[in-house]
Amino acid sequence: MLVKMIYNGVTDLLFPRRCPICEEPVMPKGKLICPECIRAIHFIREPACKICGREIGDAEEELCSNCKRHRFSFEYGYSLMSYSDVVSRSITRIKYTGAKEYLDFYGHMAIRLYGDRIKAMGVDAIVPVPVHKSRLKKRGYNQAAVLAEIMGRELHIPVYEDALYRNKKTAALKELNAAERLKNLSSAFFAGEIPKDMRSVLLVDDIFTTGATLEATSRCLKRAGVERIYCFTLASKTDI
Ligand SMILES: [Zn+2]
Ligand SMILES: [Zn+2]
């Protein structure tokens, strides 16, 4: 016990947990984010789009403008936060500078705010949106898979990382519009091993922009026999 306490104390000193927003060691110790920094995050509130989960300004509306224009192959999804500079910086650090530990905070919030609603979906599995294997090698982890693992562990839902693969890198999606993105992505994914009894799936990804990635992966899972697909993303761009 004492040895463990000393060990934890030393690890804390050498590798203090850093805040996903300001990147400084989190105070008070034991927390996942600074009390001030959590206020910089805009967690999605109602009214939110019934399909993609992004926040919409008008309580009279059921869908965001994007979901009015496009029909998705997934049933519906939730998103934790509205995309902002602060959130974008934090996710970029997770993706490109090894700040995997920030996902502990986001995973914790995902469960706290959406755990019951995700359980109510009654899915057979959680499937992370894959990254290309060369990217995985460079980063050492897939941020969506790390998040999926945290959620699966807490919600007692199995995670199938091998359900989907990405067979080409899809760079510069930012410059493309929704239709071009989807075209670009439609051949980017293929299904791996899908157990026969996997009828419904929660797809997990980091950012919801136009929904093209989730649409491409949903189509891929449907072709492989999955009947119902739901989504969860960390951040979504507000009405686009
Ligand atoms: Zn902070
Ligand atoms: Zn929507």
Say if residue 55 is in the same domain as residue 137: yes
How many Å lie between the centroid of ligand 2 and the Cα of residue 234? 15
CB of 18 closer than 8 Å to CB of 100: no
Q: How far, in Å, is the centroid of ligand 2 from the Cα of 99? A: 29
**How far is ligand 2, taken at its centre, from the CA of residue 10, in Å?**
47
**Interhelix angle for 102-121 vs 85-96, to 10°?**
100
34 with 65, same domain: the answer is no
Q: For residues 175 and 211, what is the distance between their CA atoms, to the nearest angstrom?
A: 15
Q: What is the mean pLDDT of the chain?
A: 90
Q: Could you tell me if 15 and 133 lie in one domain? A: no
Q: What is the pLDDT of residues 153-166, one digit of tens each?
A: 999 999 999 999 99
233: pLDDT confidence band, cut at 50, 70 and 90? very high
Query: What pTM does this model have?
Result: 0.90
- CATH number assigned to the domain comprising residue 204: 3.40.50.2020
Rounded to an integer, the average pLDDT of 33-62 is 94
The ligand minimizing its distance to the Cα of 74 is 2
From the CA of 37, how far away is ligand 1's center (Å)?
A: 5
Specify whether 148 is located in the same domain as 228. Answer: yes
Number of structural domains the chain divides into: 2
In contact, 107 and 32? CB cutoff 8 Å: no
Structural contact between residues 102 and 143, judged by C-beta atoms closer than 8 angstroms: no
Ion ligand 2 neighbours, Cβ < 5 Å: 49, 51-52, 64, 67
Instruction: Write down the H helix ranges in 54-200.
Output: 65-69, 85-96, 102-121, 133-139, 143-155, 178-186
Task: State how far the Cα of 134 lies from the Cα of 121, in Å rounded to an integer.
Answer: 33
Residue 82 Cα to ligand 2 midpoint, Å, equals 13
33 and 51 share one domain:
no
Structural domain of residue 17, as residue ranges? 1-40
Query: Looking at the CA of 32, which ligand is closest?
Result: 1
Given a cut of 60, whether residue 171 has pLDDT beyond it is: no
pLDDT for 170 equals: 62
Regarding whether 75 and 34 lie in a shared domain, the answer is no
**Cis ω for the linkage preceding 47 (within 30 of 0):** yes
Helix (H) or strand (E) holding 7: helix 2-14
- How many whole angstroms separate alpha carbon 208 and alpha carbon 205? 8
- Say whether pLDDT at 14 is over 70: no
Same domain for 208 and 173: yes
Q: How many CB atoms lie within 10 A of CB 61?
A: 15
Do 99 and 8 have their domain in common? no
- CA of 72 relative to ligand 1 center, distance in Å: 37
Residue bearing tokens 């699966």: 152
Compute the distance from residue 48 Cα to the ligand 2 centre, in Å: 8
Judgement on whether residues 29 and 141 belong to the same structural domain of the protein: no
From the list 123, 90, 109, the residue with the least C-alpha distance to 44 is: 109
B/e letters for 171-196, b = 16+ CB within 10 Å, e = fewer, are: eeeeebebeebbebbeebbebeebee
Cβ neighbours for 165, distance < 8 A, ≥ 6 positions apart:
130, 133, 189, 190, 191, 192
- State the distance from the centre of ligand 1 to the C-alpha of 34, rounded, in angstroms: 4
> 43 CA to middle of ligand 1, Å?
16
CA 207 distance to own-chain centroid: 6
Output the six-digit token pair for 138. Answer: 């460079």
> Looking at the CA of 17, which ligand is closest?
1
pLDDT digits 0-9 by tens, 66-80: 899 989 999 999 999
Q: Tell me, what's the pLDDT at 173?
A: 61
